Amino acid sequence: MTEGMRADGMGSTEAARGSVLEGLAALQNFENLLRSPRVASRSLGQLVTEVQASCDPIRTAFEALLSELGRREPDAPVLGELRSEADARLQQLDEALGCAAGAPMSTRSRLGLELQVREVAAELGRLRSMLDLLTHATAPRCTELDALDVTMAAVHSMGASRSDARVDVAVLSPKVRAVVSTDPHVAIPLITLAIGSLANQGVRRVSVELTRSAGSTLLTVVPCGRIAHAVACAPPDVAGAALETARLAARCVGGSFEPEDERCVVRLPAFAAPAASTHFAGEA
């Protein structure tokens, strides 16, 4: 992607990302009010119309992000899958709010609406994360990074209390320091998705091994036994188009994302230090 293309879409993309965040925050606030016993059902009924009004801006913002990504990656079928997922969830929210607005809110209907709003907010949040990943991957700002540092940052970004943890993660220190050239906003989500892909298969303990191979660094996530110093993590739910999104993001930064049964390999390009110039005596 050229610098001109990046500049043209950056302002509108940032505005759309901000609108999505605001919309999701409004949904989460509404869910909190639905769950609170201090808020009367009559008051919630009056808020339903306001929440309904926020759906269109969220839909518009998602469409703006997807359209910009489509311009950057015109041959990416996964964008259509993400659009379909977003449309389905927003339609689900529209219908739930429509039902709530058309009748008095009973205890039963309030609980049902709370569950619907929670589900939609969680799924739209997951989709937002996928679009953020692709936004960074299609206009990367690559830099020199220690692969072990990036991996540890990814693991600690998923840190959770023991009751919330879905998987214990142990990072095996490489025998030789590995340095990669990538955007941390891409590499970190790819590693969390790799761990999440095993967690979704029911694996509860994994190790991440770093190895160097032919101009790349491989981060291999596999099941393991009990290991000291493992970190309790709550990795992202790898559902829907998440794996294809990760594959596309990895390709955009010159790497790969290869999920298999109880194994996932993230390949990141190694950092190539610029060759030192040689000056001979007598040269200008």
Tell me the percentage of the chain whose pLDDT exceeds 90. 71
> Rounded mean pLDDT of 43-66?
90
pLDDT bucket at 11, cuts 50 / 70 / 90: low
Per-residue pLDDT tens over the stretch 187-223: 999 999 999 999 999 999 999 999 998 899 999 999 9
Helix, coil or strand: residue 194:
helix
SS3 per-residue string spanning 240-270 = CCHHHHHHHHHHHCCCEEEEECCEEEEEEEE
Lowest mean pLDDT among 26-35, 41-50, 58-67: 41-50
pLDDT bucket at 6, cuts 50 / 70 / 90: very low
Q: Does residue 81 carry a pLDDT above 50?
A: yes
Q: How far, in Å, CA of 51 to CA of 25, rounded? A: 11
- Cα within 13 Å of Cα(178), Cβ side: 26
Angle among Cα 76, 79, 84 to the nearest 5 degrees reads 145
Whether 114 contacts 52, CB under 8 Å: no
The total number of residues shown for the chain amounts to 284
Name the H helices within the chain.
3-35, 41-72, 78-101, 107-137, 147-157, 184-199, 242-252
Please name which of 159, 229, 238, 252 lies closest in space to residue 198, comparing C-alpha atoms. 238
- How do strand 231-233 and strand 256-260 relate by DSSP bridges? unpaired
Q: How far, in Å, CA of 185 to CA of 131, rounded? A: 12
Please name which of 103, 89, 105 lies closest in space to residue 27, comparing C-alpha atoms. 89
> Rounded mean pLDDT of 179-186?
96
Whether 148 contacts 178, CB under 8 Å: yes
Per-residue pLDDT tens over the stretch 97-130: 998 887 888 889 999 999 999 999 999 999 999 9
Angle among Cα 237, 182, 261 to the nearest 5 degrees reads 40
pLDDT bucket at 8, cuts 50 / 70 / 90: very low
Q: How far, in Å, CA of 56 to CA of 94, rounded? A: 10
Domains of the chain: 3-137 (1.20.120), 143-269 (3.30.565.10)
Q: How far, in Å, CA of 188 to CA of 118, rounded? A: 26
Between 107-137 and 3-35, two packed helices, what is the crossing angle to 10 degrees?
160
Whether 158 contacts 234, CB under 8 Å: yes
Radius of gyration of the chain (CA): 22
Q: How far, in Å, CA of 187 to CA of 31, rounded? A: 32
